[in-house]
Structures are given as C-alpha cells and as structure tokens.
Structure 1
Amino acid sequence: MAAVAAEIFLAVALGGLLVAAVRVLDALVLRPRRMRLYLQRQGIGGPAPSFLLGNIPEMKRIGLSKPAAGVAMSTDTRFSHSWPYLLFPHLEQWRNEYGSIFMYSMGNVHLLSIIDADMVKELSLCTSLILGKPSYLTKDLAPLLGEGIITSSGTFWAHQREIIAPELYLDKVKGMVNLMVDSTSLMLSSWESKINEAEGGSVEIDVDGDVRNLSADIISRACFRSSYSQGKEIFLNLRQLQKVMSKRSIGIPGLRYLPTKENREMQKLEKDIQSKILEVVRLRKEAKEERAGDLLQMILEGAEGFGENEGLPSHFSLDRFIVDNCKNLYFAGHETTAVTALWSLVLLAEYPEWQDRARDEVLAVLGNGGIIDSDKLRSLKILTMIIQETLRLYPPATFLVRETQDIFEFKKIFIPKGLVIQVAVPILHQDPNIWGPDALEFNPERFSNGISNACGAAQAYIPFGLGPRTCLGQHFAMMELKVILSLILSRFQFALSRSYRHSPAFILVIEPGNGVPLCMSKL
C-alpha cells in the first residue's frame, strides 16, 4: 500500500512539474514568439531578442558606442539639449532601422515603441479600461510605487482616482498658494543669510538639495498637514530607494527574488517606508481631529469603503491601500516637481535674457513684496512659457506606458494581450518634424500663443501624460513651480557656476546628474 501511495505521489509531483515547465516555456519562449509573429504579419519590425534578457544586451552595446550617461555632455557655455539621443540611443537607432513604430523586449517585458504624433493622438483618445498600466510596474517597481494611483489599472484605478482627483482640482489648489509661499520664503531666507555672510555680495549654492527639500515640504503641508521635517526619513528613504531601483534592469525573470545586495537593501527600505507612513496614519487617527480635508483624510476614508467596491485586488489589505497611495503621492508630488524646478533654474541661468524677461514680468505683476495669489500667478505669461519649454526639453516622465488587458485594435493595428505600448516622451518632444528646425533649442517663445499653436501637432506635447491617465497633480505642479520661480526671480540674480556640468541622468526621472551649483546674489 505504501509503495502504491509513493508511486501516486511521484506521478502527481512529476505531473505538476511538467505543467509548471510548460507554463514557463510558454511564458518565456512561445508567447513572446507568437507576439512577434503576430505583429510582423502586420508589418511591424524590430530587433530579434535573446532568451531571457530580450534586447537588453543589444541596448548596452549600442550605449557603449555613445557618450556615457551621466557624463557631462558639454563644457561650453551653450550646452546641448539632445540628451535623449545619448541616454536612449537604442530608440533612435531602431527608429531609423524599423520606422516610428517598432517592437523590442526588455527581459520578459515586450514593448511596442511609438514615436509618431498621429498614433499618440489616437492613444490619447482611448478611454477604455482595456489599456492599463503595465504589470511590471507593480512587480519590478513594487517597493517604490506598489499598486497605488500611478500603477494600478481597471476598476481599482478608477476607485483610487475617484478618491484622490477632487482634492487636486484647480479650485482646491488655489487655496494652497499661501502655504507654497510660506515654505518657499523659508528657503529663500536661508539663501539670503548665506549671501550676507559671504564677501562680495555673491555666493555659490548647490540648490539641488534645497529645492528637493522645499518640494517635499510643500507636498507634506498640502496633502498630509505635516512638514518636511516630520516626514524627512520617508523622503530620504524614498530617494535612496529610487537610486537603487534605477540601477536594476526591469523584466528579467526572477531577478527581484535573488538575495542580492540591492534586493536586500530595497526590502529594508520598503519596510522602513511602510512603517513610517503607518506611523503618520496612526498619529492622525489618534489626534481625532475634525475632518482634515486633505489628501491623507481622503485616502483614509477611501480605505474605509474598501470592501464595498468591486474590482479591488483580493490580496490587498487596508494598510497596503493606504501605504501605496501615500508612497505614490510622496514620490510623484515631490520628485517630478523638484526636478522640473531645478531644470527651470538651470535654463534661466544659462539664458540670462529669458531670466531678465521673466523677472521684469514678475516684478510688474507681483510687485516688490506684494501678496501672491492664484490670479496674479495666472498672469505670468512669460514664466508660464518658460516652464512649458522646460517641460518640453526635460520632461520628468521619460516614458508613457500602457499594457493591453485584451487584444486591442489601434489605428488598424491589432495589438495582442499583454503587450506594453511605450511612448518615448523626450524624443517626441524634440522631433524636428513636429517642432521645427529649432527643436533642440531653448525657445519659450514657441508657446506664446498657447500649447495648441506651439508645434505642428499639439498631441505631441505630453509632459503630464495623456488620455484619462493624465497626471492628476498637474494644476498643483504648475502652481508650485510658478510660486517657487517667481519668488526666486523677485529676490535673486543667478548664473551657472563654472563647476556646473550639464549631465542629465535617468534615475527613474530625468534629473541633473551632478547637482545645480548657482552663483547667486541679491537684487
């Protein structure tokens, strides 16, 4: 009897192993091959992938033939803005070889790259939940983003959007201007103190850390009724996690499960971030305040209605719902705005004629020490043009990605389930066929008559995303940028330090790779 039982157990085990092997074979070999053949029959080409790694080895080979990412692109006064072709040379090479629509793979993530304004317009018009965020975001980037508003899909995303969006409508953002002014004024006072202590009325300040801390303080006060000092460790841990994750290739099967130094560090940082966010939540609940009316309150109330909504993942807990959405807001609301403010300062310092024009406008509209409100900020046309041009040349979100939840017809192309549609934003933003012969130049004047008249295809300008997944915080970000830049312009003159090296780096967002040292003096 025991021998029979052993034979049955062995047969079941072997059968299970066989089923698992077939599934692995299908996921890693057969399914990708079917996808490629399906697209090839529709006239879409692309480089042939290798087993497990996809086209990652070829991407690295192409990159070795170009200047290294993060290395200074130019030491000249007028530096180049053509960084996308240096950081992502494989996209330019494959576009030249296969056209504006091509397929490639990063490990087991299979992408359809689109660098075509008409196709992007069609994509922006699609409101179906059949296009969601890629599953690799909630796997490979899980420690940083989890399954919050940025990475979720379907009805689960719709539920989160319903909770968060109303708190970031323009009428709500207008009421946050005063706290933005208060936070910014504290930073500027510290700069003035440094200048007063220096000889000659000028001092070099690397503003990178200060601007990041300022952005963190603003998002904390606006959305969580706390300050940067209270959430400092959360932001520092998120920043460190961002740096670690930017070094790791996505899509390689099983990589995130290996006991590597990076994976262990990510796990530790993720646990620390979670515990600190839950501590913020605990303190809020214990305070028993009246309805706070901020985003944290909305997230907590949304968590209370968690079980009443259909389409929510069964593996989700209330704590995870709260933590993931707080992480999304901390990261997206802080990091992207901070790097845009930094690039704006770099460009204003590099192009002093535009700095002077913007300052003249700011002083005329806001006055010297006058009260700043949303109506006055809306009147800053030149500053708005400068911010828009900064977002064109240095969009913080490098790629817009969508994954098909089922077979999907798109401009007479049938896209199989599970394929990731990828839009390379900076390459689209710098395409001479769309923006004209000065596409690689800093020229805010192109936005003088609005975004719709700035180029040959308005849908090609997508710094805040597209379609129903357009960034919920774009009004907040634009208001914050106007407050920060207008206050700096009204109190300081600044130029790039001789030590500045123009080196855009991809650390999940595009940021200055070697800081932003400015020579600053008071007006």
Structure 2
Amino acid sequence: METVTASSILISVVCIFVVTGFIKAVNWVWLRPKRIEKWFRQQGLTGTSYQFLVGDMKDYSSMRTRALENPINGFSNDYSSRVDPLGHHHAGKFGKDYFVWAGPMPMVSISKPELIREAFTNMQEFQKAKFNPVMDKLFPGLVRYEGEKWAKHRKIINPVFHVEKLKLMLPAFRDSCSEMINKWDMVVAETGSGEVDAWLSLTKLTADVISRAAFGSSYEKGQRIFELLKEQTDLSLVMLQSLYIPGQSYLPTPRNRRFRKLEDQINDLLCSLINKRKEEIEAGEAVKSDLLGILMDSNLKEIQQAVGNNKNKHLGMSLQEVIEECKLFYLAGQETTSILLVWTMILLSKHQDWQARAREEVLQTFGNNVPDFEGLNHLKTVTTILYEVLRLYPPIIQLSRMNKQKDTNLGALSIPSGTMITFPMYSVYRDIEIWGDDAQEFKPERFSEGISKATKGNNAFFPFGWGPRICIGERFAMTEAKMALSMILQRFSFELSPSYVHAPMSVIFLQPQHGAKIILHRF
C-alpha cells in the first residue's frame, strides 16, 4: 500500500511538472506574444502579426540573403534596402515606429530622437540587450555589465582614456600610420600611383594601433592576440547567423570546440602579459603608459582604496575581468576606427573638393611634420568630415536596449517586460525633418557650427551613444582617425578604383562587402 502511495505521489509530481512546463511553453511561444501584439495595437503601434515560434526571422534571413547578392548600382548613400531589407520594408509599410518578432520575443523599432535619449539615459530600466551568449564572448567587459558592477568598471577604466594619457599614446598612432604609409609608398614607387585595398590596409592599421597602444613594447604578442580574436570573431559571426537554442554552446560541436580552444589561447597570452605587468608593479617599476599599464595602475588604486575603507565588496577587477577589458579594447577599438576611416576614404574619393579642403587644412596646421595632439584637436574641416561620415555610414547601424525586469513606459508607449527596443541609426540620420532635404547627401558643412545646429536643436546624433553609457573610447577613436587621415593626406591624393564595388554590408559593424579598392597618387 505504501509503495502504491509513493508511486502515485511520484507520478502526480511528474505530471504537475510536465503540465506546468507545457503551460509555460505554450505561454512563451504563443499566448504571451499574441497578448503583446494586441496590447501594442491598442496603443496605436503597428507591426507584423506574430507567426508561431519563428516570428519574422525567416523573412529576415531570406531577405538579407537576397539583398547581399547584388551590389548597389552606381554609388549611392541610400543603402538601407541592402543592409536592413526587413527594416526598410517595414518602415515603408508601417512608418518610423513599429514592432516585429525575433521568434517569440517582441522587438519595437523607435526612431524618435527624444525617445532614444530617454532610453539611453534611463539605464536602470533599459539595459543592454542579451539574446545570445556568443555576443557576451564577442563583446565582454564593460559593455555587458549593469548596475554597480558597470559603475565600478567604468570608474576604473576612465583614467585609461583621460586626455593626458591619450597624449602619451600618440607615438603608437604615429608608428603604426608610418608603417602603413611606407607600404603604400612602395606601391606607388615606380609610376607615382598604384592601387590598394584600403579596407585591408586600414583593418591592419587599427589592429596595429591597438596592439601598440594596449601593450607598448609587447605589441608583437598583442598582434598574435588580435589574430586569434579575429578568428574567434569570424567564428562567432557564423554562429550568430544560426538559430540560437538555449544550451547549445555546451554541446561538443566542432565550432564550439574551436571557439573554446581560441578562447583558452587568448586568455593564456593575456594572462601572461598581465601577470608580468603585475610583477613589475609590485617590484616598484614605473607604470607603463600603455592601456594595460594605466588600467592595472587604476585597478590597483581602486583595490587599495577599498581595502583602506574596509569595503571588500568594492574591490577592483579580477584577473579574468582585466582580460575581458583587454579583449574589449581590441574588438571595439579596432573595428569602429577602421570602419570610420575606410568610409572616409571612400567618400573623400568621391568628393575631391572636400579631400582638397581637408588636405589644405592639414598642411596649414602641420606642414609635413608629424601631427601633434593640439593640432589634431583644432582640425575643424577634418572633424566635420568625420562627423558626416559617421552620420552617413555609422559603424553600427542599429542600437538596442531591453526592459528586462518589468513593464516600462517609453514616452507615451507602454512596453511589456522582455521587449527588445531597437533604434535604427540609419533611419534617424536620414530623417529629412531633422537633417533637411539633403539628408542623403555628403555635406560636411552641416556640422560647421556644431552638432546641435546640424540637427536643428534635436540632439539626434549619437555616433558614440548617449547618456551614462556613452562610449568611453570616443576621444581615442577620433584622435586615431584624425592622425591617420592627416598623415595619409600629407602624402597622397586618392580616388576610387574602376574596380571598386559599392556594397555596404552590416555584420555587427557596417563594412564594405567587397573591400575598398583605392588608387593612390603620390602627392
């Protein structure tokens, strides 16, 4: 009798778990999405009807594949149908703000600048979106932290990008630019002109800059780290394009095994460098003026302060956290600057008048001397050009946030918890109500009186984000870009090669799909 009773209880418990799990699954894949869809429509927000389990992902995948098959005819700054065909289609059908579905997860697209600023400022309610663990590996460190941990890391990292520290990194910028320009000189040596793929060159340049700036005299090891990170990034992008199934990263697939092996190799190299620096600091040696040295010094001071105040919970970064911040230096710093520079060269190739104006300013400021920090800060024409490039070809065409904890209001819109909110920078930067009828045109003069004037007081320009989480490396990236562009303009004039194919492609960052073939002329 007791055995029967125990068996009955066990069966009942199992049935309860099964039924509960089934109800939760049905709610997740069908009932909740349909309720949210109805709620959005009642608020006057339009969008797509939810399709069981897949949402709009099937349409997104097929439309993107077709869009990337053909480049843009001629040369046009209107490329939304290529980089975001689904968003382009929905914006034309539903207007600036609408909702779609990433599987059962709702996604609301918001283009109103005031709502973007509100979401970026309210970082407690609207946090960084996390929908695939691969992204946490691809972009570790500060960008994925929230709350107290984010505040602690931000405080420790701030000194790394202080203007006085940045000045000490100019030799790294100069040496890397000189190496690239010397290689380009060899290309034009015989006839005074020659063709290069600027995308490949500039990717190598910015990787070299980060290696030197991050690790100083150990930058050769930094270059090896970058090579491994590049392979890991390429592998991550392949993994991100497949449907994510919770727990799949733990399966012993060839991709997962290779990913983990790369991660172990990167961690070992970084751990070796960090431990060596730690030993040098403990031995009383002067702190090196590279990113790693400044970061470790700032971290040590944070730990000492916490110990002195008996606040152990506020101790600085662990070894693994320092490693993750070093990875972030590479992935964020290298990609964004190389993309800014390549689109700048492409647009200045198309607009020779602005190339001439930029060169004139550079030569008036520096002559043939190596650019200095003060001079770089006073390059007005070059700055307006870089801003206009960031507007027309933003490194990241879409930013996102998520309200994870509870239902939240954004403006007059009530947004259910678990909703991803996307901000299509491409659309915001093409809005004729903000930028005028010439919003698709390359006109750097729009920034001649500052960002506020360019946006008619709308504050609708977010090249490095907005609010508390604004990119900490903004000054670093802009200084590097100005240095590289100035040194190029001092030595060369350039134009697009007849073989250049205009094909912007967004794979996390906005890249030229078929490279950037440029013809250099010795200046």
TM-score, scaled relative to structure 1: 0.88
Q: Amino acid of the residue matched to residue 135 of structure 2?
A: L
Query: Residue 478 of structure 2 corresponds to which residue in structure 1?
Result: 478
Query: Residue 211 of structure 2 corresponds to which residue in structure 1?
Result: 220
* CA distance in 1 between partners of 2:242 and 2:92 (Å): 25
Query: Residue 90 of structure 1 corresponds to which residue in structure 2?
Result: 86
Report the alpha carbon displacement of residue 384 of structure 1 after superposing the two structures with TM.
0.9
Does structure 2 retain, via aligned residues, the 8 Å contact 1:107–1:252?
no
Report the alpha carbon displacement of residue 363 of structure 1 after superposing the two structures with TM.
0.6
1:254 corresponds to which of 225, 243, 246:
246
Cα deviation 1:32-58 (Å, max 9, x = unaligned): 334333333322221022222221122
Query: Residue 131 of structure 1 corresponds to which residue in structure 2?
Result: 126
Report the alpha carbon displacement of residue 501 of structure 1 after superposing the two structures with TM.
0.7
Query: Residue 53 of structure 2 corresponds to which residue in structure 1?
Result: 52
* CA distance in 2 between partners of 1:317 and 1:183 (Å): 30
Aligned to 1:132, what secondary structure does the other structure show? coil
Q: Amino acid of the residue matched to residue 134 of structure 1?
A: A
Query: Residue 510 of structure 1 corresponds to which residue in structure 2?
Result: 510
Matching of residue 284 in structure 1 with residue 283 in structure 2: no
Query: Residue 488 of structure 2 corresponds to which residue in structure 1?
Result: 488
Does structure 2 retain, via aligned residues, the 8 Å contact 1:216–1:228?
no
Query: Residue 438 of structure 2 corresponds to which residue in structure 1?
Result: 438
Aligned to 2:55, what secondary structure does the other structure show? coil
* CA distance in 1 between partners of 2:8 and 2:243 (Å): 39
* CA distance in 1 between partners of 2:492 and 2:85 (Å): 38
* CA distance in 1 between partners of 2:27 and 2:486 (Å): 56
Distance 1:10 1:431, change over 3 A: same
Distance 1:35 1:386, change over 3 A: same
Does structure 1 retain, via aligned residues, the 8 Å contact 2:40–2:46?
yes
* CA distance in 1 between partners of 2:25 and 2:264 (Å): 30
Distance 1:175 1:294, change over 3 A: closer
Superposed, 1:17-166 pairs within 5 Å as 17-63=18-64, 68-69=67-68, 71-74=70-73, 76=74, 79-124=75-120, 126-136=121-131, 139-146=133-140, 148-166=141-159
Distance 1:218 1:416, change over 3 A: same
Does structure 2 retain, via aligned residues, the 8 Å contact 1:242–1:507?
no
Does structure 2 retain, via aligned residues, the 8 Å contact 1:133–1:402?
yes
Aligned to 1:131, what secondary structure does the other structure show? coil
Query: Residue 397 of structure 1 corresponds to which residue in structure 2?
Result: 396
Report the alpha carbon displacement of residue 10 of structure 1 after superposing the two structures with TM.
4.7
Aligned to 2:455, what secondary structure does the other structure show? coil
Query: Residue 236 of structure 1 corresponds to which residue in structure 2?
Result: 227
Superposed, 1:107-506 pairs within 5 Å as 107-124=103-120, 126-136=121-131, 139-146=133-140, 148-196=141-189, 199-226=190-217, 228-247=219-238, 248-249=240-241, 252-254=244-246, 256-257=248-249, 262-288=255-281, 289-292=285-288, 294-297=290-293, 299-300=295-296, 302=299, 305=303, 318-368=318-368, 370-404=369-403, 405-506=405-506
* CA distance in 1 between partners of 2:135 and 2:503 (Å): 25
Deviates more, 1:213-222 or 1:490-499: 213-222
Identity of aligned residues (%): 33
Does structure 1 retain, via aligned residues, the 8 Å contact 2:33–2:50?
no
Distance 1:20 1:96, change over 3 A: same
Distance 1:95 1:416, change over 3 A: same
Does structure 2 retain, via aligned residues, the 8 Å contact 1:350–1:496?
yes
Does structure 2 retain, via aligned residues, the 8 Å contact 1:106–1:251?
no
Q: Amino acid of the residue matched to residue 279 of structure 1?
A: S
Does structure 2 retain, via aligned residues, the 8 Å contact 1:70–1:504?
no
TM-score, scaled relative to structure 2: 0.88
Aligned to 1:150, what secondary structure does the other structure show? helix
Distance 1:205 1:468, change over 3 A: same
* CA distance in 2 between partners of 1:292 and 1:371 (Å): 23
Aligned to 2:67, what secondary structure does the other structure show? coil
Aligned to 1:465, what secondary structure does the other structure show? coil
Report the alpha carbon displacement of residue 388 of structure 1 after superposing the two structures with TM.
0.7
* CA distance in 1 between partners of 2:102 and 2:135 (Å): 15
Report the alpha carbon displacement of residue 133 of structure 1 after superposing the two structures with TM.
0.5
* CA distance in 2 between partners of 1:511 and 1:190 (Å): 23
The two structures, once aligned, show a CA RMSD in angstroms of: 2.9
Aligned to 1:36, what secondary structure does the other structure show? helix
Does structure 2 retain, via aligned residues, the 8 Å contact 1:82–1:440?
yes
* CA distance in 2 between partners of 1:2 and 1:484 (Å): 80
Cα deviation 1:131-190 (Å, max 9, x = unaligned): 2101226x24133123x1112222222221111123213343233223211221122122
Distance 1:350 1:520, change over 3 A: same
Q: Is there any run of 5+ residues in structure 1 with no aligned partner, and where? A: none
